[in-house]
Amino acid sequence: MVTQAHGKVLIIAGSDSGGGAGIQADIKTVTALGGYAMTAITALTAQNTRGVHGVHAVPPAFLQKQIDAVMDDLGADALKTGMLHDAQTIECVVELAEGPGRGIPLVVDPVMVAQSGAQLLDPGAVECLRERLLPRATLLTPNLPEAEVLLRQHIPGVDDMEDAARALQSMTGGAVLLKGGHLPGDSIVDVLAGPEDVRVYRHARIHTHHTHGTGCTLASAIAVALAQSMSLEAAVEQARHYLLEAIRTAPGFGGGGGPVNHCHTVDRGSLRP
């Protein structure tokens, strides 16, 4: 039995040739959660579980052609950004948010550095991200190192996360999900700060190094839920549960930090004749 995809998500992000993060993780996530994924690729990376071996940026004019082609024909129910690489690329997204994407939920994953340590955002573009794109975000999903760059301050522990999330929320037009996975310990704390309240999520850490692409996956899972008309709180809840199971059932591929299991929602039995 084939079910129709529900919720169109335009993903503006970089490609990961290893398949664990970036556009590849985004497409898998949106599809696994019943949505329809469309893409505008910002950069190509030569990448595997051990690291990023090269980055080839897509010219902004061609990125704009990709965005226009999708929006002119298919439209979108949600927008999601990942690796934006430089200020010109960020401005393409700003133009979308101010034009044909106005009023469409926008999830911004401020990808700056790969898990391997490779720089994925031009340092000179951080101010453009901060001043131009963040005020247009429905939801911002930084990890702690990204939040520290955006706030220009250290976030030493769990007790400081709520204040940091509130400070980031004041920079956006919507909400912030601050992810605490970089802190040590047997539990992980995430903080969702909206215009009116703050919600704290806690869960036991799954001890594994197969967590490549978790940020991309979580942001895309939230974006497709918003495209399917879920509330932000329900979208975050569903996305977190989806990601935790994807980590728990990670296939163990590669010699480094491997990908998660994006397809754990697929009922393989339904494919048998």
What digits encode the pLDDT tens for the residues 92-131?
999 999 999 999 999 999 988 766 556 677 878 899 999 9
Rounded CA gap, 190 and 176, in Å?
10
Check residue 119 and give its pLDDT: 67
Mean pLDDT of 229-245: 97
One of 18, 20, 101, 215 is an active-site residue; which one?
215
Contacts of 127 (CB under 8 A, 6+ apart): none
Whether pLDDT at 272 is above 90 = no
Check residue 184 and give its pLDDT: 84
Whether pLDDT at 2 is above 50 = no
pLDDT mean across residues, the chain: 92
Asked if 81 is an active-site residue, the reply is: no
pTM listed for this prediction:
0.94
One of 80, 179, 180, 257 is an active-site residue; which one?
179
Mean pLDDT of 248-269: 90
For the beta carbon of residue 21, count every other beta carbon within 10 angstroms. Answer: 31
One of 31, 49, 214, 217 is an active-site residue; which one?
214
Asked if 179 is an active-site residue, the reply is: yes
One of 45, 89, 141, 211 is an active-site residue; which one?
211
- Residue 140 forms beta bridges with which residues? 108, 176
One of 216, 217, 257, 258 is an active-site residue; which one?
216
Rounded CA gap, 105 and 234, in Å?
14
| Residue predicted with more confidence, 161 or 122 | 161
Asked if 65 is an active-site residue, the reply is: no
Asked if 216 is an active-site residue, the reply is: yes
In order of their start, the domains of the chain are 8-267 (3.40.1190.20)
How do residues 65-78 score in pLDDT, each as one tens digit? 999 999 999 999 99
Cα radius of gyration (the chain): 17
Whether pLDDT at 201 is above 50 = yes
In SS3 terms, the chain reads as CCCCCCCEEEEEEEEECCCCCHHHHHHHHHHHCCCEEEEEEEEEEEEECCEEEEEEECCHHHHHHHHHHHHHHCCCCEEEECCCECHHHHHHHHHHHHCCCCCCCEEECCCCECCCCCECECHHHHHHHHHHHHHHCCEECCEHHHHHHHHCCCCCCHHHHHHHHHHHHCCCCCEEEEECCCCCCCEEEEEEECCCCEEEEEEECCCCCCCECHHHHHHHHHHHHHHCCCCHHHHHHHHHHHHHHHHHCCCCCCCCCCECCCCCCCCHHHHCC
One of 7, 20, 213, 257 is an active-site residue; which one?
213
Check residue 186 and give its pLDDT: 87
Rounded CA gap, 196 and 247, in Å?
31
Check residue 118 and give its pLDDT: 62
- The pair phi, psi for residue 192, each rounded to 5°, is -105, 115
Whether pLDDT at 1 is above 50 = no
Asked if 51 is an active-site residue, the reply is: no
Handedness of CA 22, 28, 34, 37 (dihedral sign): positive
